[in-house]
Chain A
Amino acid sequence: MSLKSLFCILHSSFIICLLALTGCGDAVSHGTNTALDGADLNRMTDDMAAQIAADPDVQAAIATTGPLKVVVQPVVNNMTGEVLPRGQAQTFTGRVRLLLSQHNNKNFVWIINRDYFNYLRGKELDNVLGPDPDRAQPDYALTATFSSLTKVSEERRSAYYLCAYELSNLKNGTVLWTGKYEVKKLATSGFLD
């Protein structure tokens, strides 16, 4: 073993011992930020699904026309300085659909998003010449728009979120139901931030 290798081992051992003593973490184990997280997702979508299911106007519409044909759209990101990737944008509305279909399956018919339907047909069916005229047409759209006021300074980053959900009638443009989720988040910079 060369002297340099020995030094390398000693140095590494020293650092490992120090880190072991102080309980070192990795790049994703300790940080916190002001982004919407899994807890917000659960709280928000549980609340929205419960509100939709219990809303008198929604129940009246179901009683009048039968199960509502609903298409679900990804979240529209109006947030300031907060990226919402495509997968997450789908999850925030997709989980509402999931909860409603689990608990109120007879009251809703879920229609696949038109672009995705055409994409699937093109991928899985032979001799597809264009959009299917027999596609089931949705009567309602479940949409969500997230907005935020974000402030960043050297000491902290704060964000106030307003997440608005709507169940809109695609035939006459009226809004059947609307709900919101609000939360404020604060992250204070540490010594090495």
Chain B
Amino acid sequence: MFRTGRRPVVRVDMNDHSTTSTTFTMVRHLAIFLIPFLLLATAGCESAASKATKAGLAAYRFGDFATARAKFTELAAKTDEDFVLNNCRLGSTALAVNDLDTAEAAFLRAYEVMNSVGVNNGGRTLGATLVDEKIKIWKGEPFERAMTNFYLGMTYYMRHDYDNARAAFENALFKLRDYGGDAKKTDQYREVESNFTLGLLMLAKCQQRLGRDDLAKANFQRVAELRPQLAALADFDWNAKSNLLLFIDYGYGPRKVTNNDGAIVGFGPSPYQAGPIPSPLVRVNGTNINLGGLPQPPVDLLRLAQERQWQSIDTIRVVKSAVGTGLIVGGAIEGTRKGGSPEVGLALAAAGLLLKATSQADVRQWEMLPRTVYILPLHVQPGTYDICVSFPTAGDVNQTWQGVPVPVNGEAAYYFHPQPYTNPVMVWPSTAQPAPAP
């Protein structure tokens, strides 16, 4: 009875040629519209900005910082969805040549948008969810946000602006706590904090320079508690007498990877795949410096990236991909089963393909991040030196700054970014100091 009762309805629809024709036409038009879009989502198209980015990154990798800075200065001025990312890239490039004005301004712009909420309001949220995740304003993964704050703080520290450096390092710690999970689970907080001892260590150093010895001692002690191997680096008295501080980048940070479906993002390589982090060798005027227990990496970004807590858009993407697969399968079944509707099957498959096409991962990332940043507080006789930093066990990657001044009082801080393919010898000073406040 049930079958008999349903048949007339089906028969009427199938025999109504005008309705069927209209439906087919609509589906065909939909398919014609969607197929290029779907193909494009797979194939991608390269814009002028994308080409400029690649050129800038290649220049950076090969030590042509002037070209890289010019490329990223242009890109960072555009307030598009890559505004934050391009300012981070510009900041890294400027730091490599000690252009602290540009680095500060670039990281500050990135910091301001990262600290803002609702930047994707006004259509980008809908667009990122329905069409392409790359439409959303890039604000970075948690470790990228923390590193933006770290480099901003480092820039201020190098300028002896310890108030703002302290604030930036505090913000770096906020960012990781932000993604550390449930606030009530104190163990999780501890775990996340221990992975970013880089920020905590620099926070302690700022407090020491600001004369807040009580806070500095507490934070140095916290660093040593969390990572006992950093005890020498977190020694209050050693840091107090330091008059030369070296920030040394090493290696490459995590890379986003997708699966065959292009949907699920992970980070690679793992610390195990990348191997141990080598120790730096520091030569001052050609003489090796005994670093003792100082050269311990305060952070391993490869490890940090593996512990990332996934956020909402990733969940949406995975769900969209799974639902898309379901719709395609459902459409195939509907279209091939006996008595099924080919139009419905086609529509389901098209919707499934659309969902899967728009669930492609956003693989934008800050490519210039290192694997770690060494912090080396040293004490040398005041004067002017040639300082060479190298990693002999990593293909003799090295960088030299010539004519670096070391003061009698206070602590001069310098940034080194040695990398393969280029061993630049750079002459100090590269930029003038800013004018005092009027």
Q: Which residues of B contact A15 (CB under 8 A)?
A: 127, 131-132, 135
B325 CB–A CB distance under 8 Å:
no
A113 touches B436 (CB 8 A): yes
Q: Which residues of A contact B174 (CB under 8 A)?
A: 81, 150, 152
Q: With A116-B435, A116-B436 in contact, is A7–B40 under 8 Å at CB? A: yes
A81 touches B112 (CB 8 A): no
Residue in A closest to B163 when the chains form the complex, CB atoms: A77
Tell me the bound Cα distance from A154 to B312 in angstroms. Answer: 12
A10 CB–B CB distance under 8 Å:
yes
Q: Which residues of A contact B122 (CB under 8 A)?
A: 22-25, 29-30
How many positions in chain B have a CB within 8 Å of any CB in the partner chain?
60
A25 touches B437 (CB 8 A): no
A125 CB–B CB distance under 8 Å:
no
B65 CB–A CB distance under 8 Å:
no
B8 CB–A CB distance under 8 Å:
no
- List which A70-86 residues lie within 8 A (CB) of chain B: 73-74, 76-86
B113 touches A193 (CB 8 A): no
Residue in A closest to B156 when the chains form the complex, CB atoms: A83
B383 CB–A CB distance under 8 Å:
no
A116 touches B437 (CB 8 A): yes
Q: With A28-B83, A77-B164, A78-B163 in contact, is A190–B120 under 8 Å at CB? A: yes
A190 touches B118 (CB 8 A): yes
A35 CB–B CB distance under 8 Å:
yes
Q: Which residues of B contact A31 (CB under 8 A)?
A: 113, 116-119
A61 CB–B CB distance under 8 Å:
no
B5 CB–A CB distance under 8 Å:
no
Most buried by B among A6, A81, A84: A81
Residue in A closest to B138 when the chains form the complex, CB atoms: A27
Return the CB mask of A1-29 against B: 1 if under 8 Å, else 0: 00011111011101100110111111111
Q: Which residues of B contact A21 (CB under 8 A)?
A: 123
Tell me the bound Cα distance from A6 to B32 in angstroms. Answer: 13
- List which A145-193 residues lie within 8 A (CB) of chain B: 150, 152-154, 157, 187-193
- List which B169-201 residues lie within 8 A (CB) of chain A: 170-171, 174-175, 177-179, 183
A119 touches B436 (CB 8 A): yes
Chain A nearest CB from B141 CB (Å) reads: 13
A22 touches B127 (CB 8 A): yes
B113 touches A27 (CB 8 A): yes
- List which A22-79 residues lie within 8 A (CB) of chain B: 22-35, 73-74, 76-79
- List which B128-178 residues lie within 8 A (CB) of chain A: 128, 130-132, 135-137, 139, 152, 156, 161, 163-164, 167-168, 170-171, 174-175, 177-178
Q: Which residues of B contact A6 (CB under 8 A)?
A: 36
A152 touches B177 (CB 8 A): yes
B126 CB–A CB distance under 8 Å:
yes
Q: Which residues of B contact A187 (CB under 8 A)?
A: 116-118
A112 CB–B CB distance under 8 Å:
yes
B312 touches A192 (CB 8 A): yes
Q: With A7-B39, A193-B118 in contact, is A77–B167 under 8 Å at CB? A: yes
Tell me the bound Cα distance from A32 to B135 in angstroms. Answer: 19
Q: Which residues of A contact B178 (CB under 8 A)?
A: 152-154
Tell me the bound Cα distance from A170 to B137 in angstroms. Answer: 49
Known: A10-B40, A24-B123, A32-B116. 10 other contacts (CB 8 A): A11-B36, A33-B117, A83-B152, A119-B436, A191-B125, A192-B120, A192-B312, A192-B313, A193-B117, A193-B120
Give the interface of B toward A (CB within 8 A): 36-37, 39-41, 43, 45, 79-81, 83-84, 104, 108, 111-113, 115-128, 130-132, 135-137, 139, 152, 156, 161, 163-164, 167-168, 170-171, 174-175, 177-179, 183, 312-313, 434-438
- Counting from the closest, the 9 A-B pairs by CB-CB distance are A31-B116, A22-B123, A8-B45, A27-B83, A31-B119, A115-B436, A24-B123, A26-B79, A7-B40
Give the interface of A toward B (CB within 8 A): 4-8, 10-12, 14-15, 18-19, 21-35, 73-74, 76-86, 89-90, 94, 112-113, 115-116, 119, 150, 152-154, 157, 187-193
Interface pairs (15), CB distance under 8 Å:
A10-B36, A12-B45, A15-B127, A21-B123, A23-B123, A26-B79, A30-B118, A33-B112, A81-B170, A83-B108, A154-B178, A154-B179, A157-B117, A192-B125, A193-B118
